[in-house]
Amino acid sequence: MPALIDPISHINPTHTAAWNRLIDQAARAQQLSIADYFSHDEQRYQNFNFSTSHVQANLSRHFINESILADLLALAEDCELAAAINSLEQGLPVNFTEHRPALHCQLRTSSTQTKEEQLAADCRSKMQRICQQLHSQQWTGFSGQPITDIVSIGIGGSDLGPRMAAEALTPYHNSKVRVHFVTNIDPCDLEHTLAPLKPDNTLFIVISKSWGTLETLTNAKAAKRWLTDRSQQSDISKHFIAISARTDLCEDFGIDEDNILPMWDWVGGRFSLWSAAGLPIALATSYATFEALLAGAHDMDQHFFNTPHRHNLPVILALLEIWYVNFWGCSNVAVLPYDHTLRLLPNHLQQLTMESNGKSVDRQGRPLNYASAPVLWGSAGTIGQHSFHQLLHQGTQLIPVDFIVPLNSHSSNQAQHQHMVANCLAQAQTLMDGQSSEQVKKQLLEAGYSEHDAALLAQHKAMPANRPSSIISVDKLTPETLGALVALYEHKTYAASIIWNINAFDQWGVELGKTASTTIYTALQNACAGLENPATQAACQALTPPNIKPPTP
């Protein structure tokens, strides 16, 4: 094995001068209100507005001022963020624990200068050809009928990104093929998806970079059985496409060489929607739409690589995350898209940010003495308002929120869309301003409550103020703006990882559970033999009492 060589500097952020200044800044900021910042700066809204070609972010509702921002930017400088961004752009092996660069940006450029860019361009030509054949209905199934339904099978990065983007681009869907996604090892996922479909018109796309993922292979085998039960083994060539770095294993599975598209070890799973793994997006919409998605992401790459940090949106968002996680003790962040088609974005961002930065050792393998990635969660507004927003407004935790809102809708019903925008702004305002118990008590007294009851009820109804949020907006949700939005979060994640001195591109933490599930599966079929963990042993016994036959393999 080659030696592990890390191109990134190893700097413990807590040893920097900026870190100590930020501790003092946080102590001071915690005495203030966000409204105080507005009263000291008439231009505050404009001063904390950040613009890129496709995405705008207003960060004025945060506990920041120029002095805090200067110290956060100094932290970035102390941690040599600029050099690390350069290393990513130059294709150095920033994923040093796996001896790999992270070249997802090379998937979304029209340049073909590097070997990898050329490979990506060749792959896109193949994707374009497949789209053309399927959209023109030249690609027919075993009985000569056109393909009408495409089932994408994959998990993690081989599912979440393509599924999210295909959903977000619903207004761009074509009428020729419907794309479905199957991910879970639960057999019901595949079975429910296939129930209304016919093998004659169904094409499967199996996406697995490793071609070793239990869920995907199990579902792919079940899909193959579903097809070949009604057709010939040789018909697989008309009904299966594989996308993988292990083309040899795809061929062993029975998939035609022509129907295999590559993935590469220089693109991490959670960054793969820009690769052939994005084929379901192109098939659900059009190949041109997929190209536009890449172009939007490329614009964000240029912004990240070339913009000074003070105006660099991914860098500023990363610094804000560090500010709240490491200096305010926040352990959660919420992402709330005010657009129904973006409802899967939080799922995608969970993998992107938590699989990347959910680490507890630094790049040198030493335990972190500071927090890394927060828990990210969220769902589409306004739905969450009638559910978990209660905790955002009155719970004991401070949870910074990213509101994401397209200013214009694809719907012609602009009046209804304005409700969406109004609700988004109302949530941000309410989080910032809250409502004091005195205000509430006054209203209650006016409404006829007794002094005692008004005072009591006012405590329950009061809303703490000073809950920070960002408004991240796009003019309209298009392939370009979606691409830019997703790339924004990718670069934010990388920038934060550099400050935290961790490797954002490996994910060793998911491996042990995979091995354990194989052992337990075997034990479930063998009277619980070989299980060492007492709780698992007991659970296994409970799940397979002697009078119940073990599951058939």
Ligand X SMILES: O=P(O)(O)OC[C@H]1O[C@](O)(CO)[C@@H](O)[C@@H]1O
Query: Looking at the DSSP assignment, which residues form a beta bridge with residue 469?
Result: 401
Nearer to ligand X, 158 or 259 (CB): 158
Residue 167, C-beta contacts closer than 8 angstroms, at least 6 positions apart: 341, 343, 344
Can you tell me which of 52, 201, 213, 470 binds ligand X, judged by CB under 6 A? 213
Can you tell me which of 157, 384, 434, 483 binds ligand X, judged by CB under 6 A? 157
| Cα gap 139→310, rounded to integer Å | 51
Q: How far is the CB of 210 from ligand X (least distance, A)?
A: 3
Does residue 507 bind ligand X (CB under 6 A)? yes
Residue 406 is inside which H or E element, if any?
strand 401-408
**Sole window of 16-24, 36-44, 132-140, 204-212 interacting with ligand X (rule: CB under 6 A):** 204-212
Task: Answer for the pair 95, 84: CB distance below 8 angstroms, yes or no.
Answer: no
Nearer to ligand X, 354 or 380 (CB): 354
Q: Which residues are catalytic?
A: 355, 386, 514
The amino acid sitting at 441 is K
Closest by CA position to 271, among listed 363, 355, 397, 211: 355
Q: How far is the CB of 216 from ligand X (least distance, A)?
A: 5
Residue 383, C-beta contacts closer than 8 angstroms, at least 6 positions apart: none
Binding mask 49-88 for ligand X (x = CB under 6 A): ----------------------------------------
Closest by CA position to 352, among listed 485, 160, 484, 166: 160
Task: Answer for the pair 89, 61: CB distance below 8 angstroms, yes or no.
Answer: no
Query: Looking at the DSSP assignment, which residues form a beta bridge with residue 196?
Result: none
Nearer to ligand X, 157 or 384 (CB): 157
Q: How far is the CB of 540 from ligand X (least distance, A)?
A: 23
Closest chain position to ligand X (CB): 269
Nearer to ligand X, 275 or 481 (CB): 275
Q: How far is the CB of 90 from ligand X (least distance, A)?
A: 24
Can you tell me which of 25, 58, 109, 158 binds ligand X, judged by CB under 6 A? 158
Nearer to ligand X, 65 or 351 (CB): 351
Residue 541 is inside which H or E element, if any?
helix 534-543
Read off the DSSP letter of residue 140. B
Q: Residue 91 region, left (φ>0) first, then alpha (ψ -120 to 50), else beta?
A: left
Q: Would you state the structure tokens that stand for residue 119, as one six-digit string?
A: 């490979």
Does residue 473 bind ligand X (CB under 6 A)? no
Can you tell me which of 112, 210, 394, 435 binds ligand X, judged by CB under 6 A? 210
Q: How far is the CB of 269 from ligand X (least distance, A)?
A: 2
Does residue 346 bind ligand X (CB under 6 A)? no
**Sole window of 135-143, 150-158, 163-171, 532-540 interacting with ligand X (rule: CB under 6 A):** 150-158
Does residue 358 bind ligand X (CB under 6 A)? no
Q: Considering only residues 257-316, where is the footprint of ligand X by CB under 6 A?
A: 269-270
Task: Answer for the pair 243, 283: CB distance below 8 angstroms, yes or no.
Answer: no
Does residue 95 bind ligand X (CB under 6 A)? no
Q: How far is residue 338 from each of residues 58, 207, 407, measured CA to CA in Å?
A: 15, 30, 10
- Helix ranges restricted to H, 195-327: 214-228, 236-239, 247-253, 279-284, 287-306, 313-322
Its sign, for the CA torsion 419, 421, 425, 427, is positive
Does residue 356 bind ligand X (CB under 6 A)? no
Does residue 208 bind ligand X (CB under 6 A)? yes
| Number of residues near ligand X (by CB under 6 A) | 14
Nearer to ligand X, 209 or 441 (CB): 209
Nearer to ligand X, 216 or 259 (CB): 216
Pairing of strands 401-408, 469-476: parallel
Q: How far is the CB of 553 from ligand X (least distance, A)?
A: 22
Exposed e or buried b per residue across 330-355, where buried means at least 16 C-beta atoms within 10 angstroms of its C-beta? bebbbbbbbbbbbbbbbbbbbbbbbb
Does residue 493 bind ligand X (CB under 6 A)? no
Task: Answer for the pair 160, 351: CB distance below 8 angstroms, yes or no.
Answer: yes
Q: What is the three-class DSSP state of 220?
A: helix
Nearer to ligand X, 281 or 474 (CB): 281
Does residue 216 bind ligand X (CB under 6 A)? yes
Does residue 162 bind ligand X (CB under 6 A)? no
Q: How far is the CB of 112 from ligand X (least distance, A)?
A: 25
Q: How far is the CB of 214 from ligand X (least distance, A)?
A: 9
Does residue 101 bind ligand X (CB under 6 A)? no
Nearer to ligand X, 120 or 432 (CB): 120
Q: Considering only residues 510-549, where is the footprint of ligand X by CB under 6 A?
A: 510
Residues near ligand X (CB under 6 A) are 155-158, 208-210, 213, 216, 269-270, 355, 507, 510
